[in-house]
Amino acid sequence: MAPDTFLKACRREPTPYTPIWIMRQAGRYLAEYRAIRQKTPFLTMCKTPELAAEVTLQPLRRFALDAAIIFADILLPLEPMGADLEFTASEGPVIHNPVRTSADVERLRLVEPEADLLFVLEAIRLVRAELEGKTPLIGFSGAPFTLASYLIEGGASRHYVETKRLMYGAPEAWDVLMAKLTTVTAAYLNAQIAAGVQAVQLFDSWIGCLSPADYARSVLPYSKAVISNLTPGVPIIHFGTGTATLLELMREAGGDVIGLDWRVSLGEAWERLGPTDVAVQGNLDPVALHAPESTLRGQVEAILKAAAGRPGHIFNLGHGVLPTTPVEAVSALVDMVHELSKR
Amino acid sequence: MAPDTFLKACRREPTPYTPIWIMRQAGRYLAEYRAIRQKTPFLTMCKTPELAAEVTLQPLRRFALDAAIIFADILLPLEPMGADLEFTASEGPVIHNPVRTSADVERLRLVEPEADLLFVLEAIRLVRAELEGKTPLIGFSGAPFTLASYLIEGGASRHYVETKRLMYGAPEAWDVLMAKLTTVTAAYLNAQIAAGVQAVQLFDSWIGCLSPADYARSVLPYSKAVISNLTPGVPIIHFGTGTATLLELMREAGGDVIGLDWRVSLGEAWERLGPTDVAVQGNLDPVALHAPESTLRGQVEAILKAAAGRPGHIFNLGHGVLPTTPVEAVSALVDMVHELSKR
């Protein structure tokens, strides 16, 4: 693989084939990942640069991926802000002291990434040294809204009742919270850039729970502030799920690449976004990796066809690869994208 | 309230104000509902016509609602088809013998609503007698895809891996399953119509997990067959969530009214659907009922404004009312919709 294919696509420059990476490509579907995870608590993996670097590199040894993404969790900046964060086996992330009041918001600290999140920066340096410039490395962070939702709900949520209760009912507290998260997110991503990542992805994974009006009023200004405060010259991927009605607003917030989930048709979404304005990333249904190879191929062909004729498409799933995914399907997918897009 | 306001709006006839009913209006947010639910298992409530009728009428005693909806569960037809259905306190609906193979699909029985689901029909007759024509009564069923997802997953799901695995990997079994569910759904809704419901809602609650291409190929023909086989003259509401990219396809499948969730702007969605072709229902975020009344009022005004100037809007939430909802907020909402839309 040419080392610059992914970065060229981010910049909407022509590439000899469509680059591909996979959200959560270092994850539980890999036996070698599970072997480490069984022995090591998740947060310890994140906080041990050697382990994080090793796990980051695992999928690159198996698949001809066009980018690596540093192994970390979107919630890591919340712990130094004051969140009592735990990853439980059954429930996933839990924050034992959720933020519900103005006083809770006031208590949240800003973060010094070089001190508080040094382990991520060290992992980035280790991975960059290992990769020797052969594959670009992506850094990432949760976006302010998605981070706020975890802080307020105390974990994953279905209806986001507490998040919206604060957003609707205590707009001043909401603004202070989102402003703090904006500062932290921008500083954290800039520190990752300084440590060597060559692109960053802003994960606003759960904005799909919001109406367009709520997103525009209570979220967009903060995402925009994060993006406009990042070190220039490094491509920014702006990603969310369930964003079919939010795409124009996400573009307004910014990003060189807009990440699409599988509920939108890539061709229609790119038309709405303006194909000469931004690149797009996506958008295979992660569950399609459980389908027979002929079905998978049909879906890949449809996505490549919708993106054909202009530069700026990065192939990816519409959300993270699922733990139940067969490794052979991922291998087939990566090769398929390269082969089919070279034609 | 004029008894025919809701039915007129379904038919896009002018009404003196915007009618409102609320999905899951007979539910856990009501103390009088919880009083019955505490003493009686959920399935027993559904299967005891006197209790189902009582619970159906409870919200009408509190609020000036423009329609009643029979108390039942979308999964009721699955039990006589052969599903070992249980409602657990913690997990919600569980099907202990999920459908995963062709043989499982073959074993599913068709249903005789007048025998197998007589309790629903009797509850409908009791409610109609109590209402004396003062408020119209809505019947409902799950749509084939949503029913299939529960049958296959064995309960609620996050990623619908097993459902899509069958859909992609065993299309013949999928077609047989969806054809059986189509027959059962149409027969069940027609039996409800014969028993006296004056409108029906087809709940395809979870189609938002599908790409437009998958919906068009594997779901639309069955929803269309259900709708085209219903007794003529009774308005049909076709509802789903996360449907921002599926609205045109849902309209193609049919229905006099398309139910919208809060992730779409009602005005834009109605434009896409064709405001002279169908009525629309929705679309307040259920969580907005947890907001201060001024915020709630602002959101209600925005929805009414987007719908103004043409007949055919039925106010509702974008999905069912949440158990955490304050009763006073529901009361305020119903009065607000009536007052603001009369102006």
Instruction: Supply the DSSP string of B247-279, one letter for each residue.
Output: HHHHHHH--SEEE--TTS-HHHHHHHH-TTT-E
CA A216 distance to own-chain centroid: 21
Residues 275-334 of A with CB under 8 A from B: 285-288, 290-292, 295, 299, 302, 322, 324
pLDDT bin (cut points 50, 70, 90) of residue A147 is very high
Q: Is residue B290 part of a domain?
A: no
Q: What is the pTM of this model?
A: 0.96
Preferred mutation among A158, A162, A205, A263 to probe B, highest tally of B CBs within 10 A: A263
Contact A242, A158 (CB under 8 A): no
Contact status, residue B34 vs residue B327, Cβ threshold 8 Å: no
Place of tokens 């090793």: A54
Q: How far apart are CA B49 and CA B69, in angstroms?
A: 14
For A326-335, write each residue's pLDDT tens digit: 999 999 999 9
The overall average pLDDT reported for chain B is 97
Residue B57 has pLDDT above 90, yes or no: yes
- The backbone torsions φ and ψ at residue A172, rounded to the nearest 5 degrees and listed phi first, read -70, -45
CA distance A269 to A267: 5
| H-helix or E-strand spanning residue B317 | strand B313-317
CATH number at residue B112: 3.20.20.210
B26: nearest Cα among B333, B298, B323: B323
The reported pLDDT for the residue numbered B1 is 57
Query: pLDDT per residue over A46-78, tens digit each?
Result: 999 999 999 999 999 999 999 999 999 999 999
Strands (E), chain A: 68-69, 85-88, 92-95, 137-142, 199-203, 236-239, 257-259, 279-284, 313-317
Q: What is the mean pLDDT of residues A227-251?
A: 98
Residue B40 domain-assigned (yes or no):
yes
* Residue numbers of B annotated as active site: 24, 28, 37, 73, 150
H or E stretch covering A81: helix A78-81
The pLDDT assigned to A243 comes to 98
pLDDT at A205: 96
Question: What are the residues whose beta carbons fall under 8 Å from the beta carbon of A69, sequence distance 6 or more?
Answer: A21, A23, A25, A26, A56, A137, A138, A139, A140, A201
What ipTM does the predicted assembly reach?
A: 0.94
Per DSSP, A316 falls in state E
Q: Cβ–Cβ of B242/A264 closer than 8 Å?
A: no
Express the helix, strand and coil content of chain A in percent, nearest 5 each: 50, 10, 35
Q: Which residues pair with A258 in a beta bridge?
A: A238, A280
* Structure tokens, A173: 């507290």
Q: If you average pLDDT over every residue of chain A, what do you get?
A: 97
d(CA A255, CA A273): 11
Contacts of A210 in chain B (CB under 8 A): 263
Angstroms from A131 CA to nearest CA on chain B: 34
DSSP A262-285: TTS-HHHHHHHH-TTT-EEEEEE-
* Residue B126 pLDDT > 60: yes
pLDDT digits (tens, 9 = 90+) for B227-241: 999 999 999 999 999
Measured between CB atoms, does B42 come within 8 Å of chain A?
Answer: no
Q: pLDDT band at A1, cuts 50/70/90?
A: low
Q: Which of B212, B291, B324 is facing A265, going by the closest CB pair?
A: B212
pLDDT tens readout for residues A255-308: 999 999 999 999 999 999 998 999 999 999 999 999 999 999 999 999 999 999
Distances (CA, A) of A107 to A102, A167, A179, B131: 9, 18, 14, 55
| Structural domain count, chain B | 1
> Which residues of chain A have a CB within 8 Å of the CB of B295?
168-169
User: DSSP letters along A224-276, please?
Assistant: HHHHHTSPTTS-EEEE-SS-TTTHHHHHHH--SEEE--TTS-HHHHHHHH-TT
Do the domain assignments include residue B174? yes
Q: Which domain holds residue B17?
A: 5-251
What is the rounded average pLDDT of the residues A15-34?
A: 97
| Cβ atoms of residues B293 and B253 within 8 Å | no
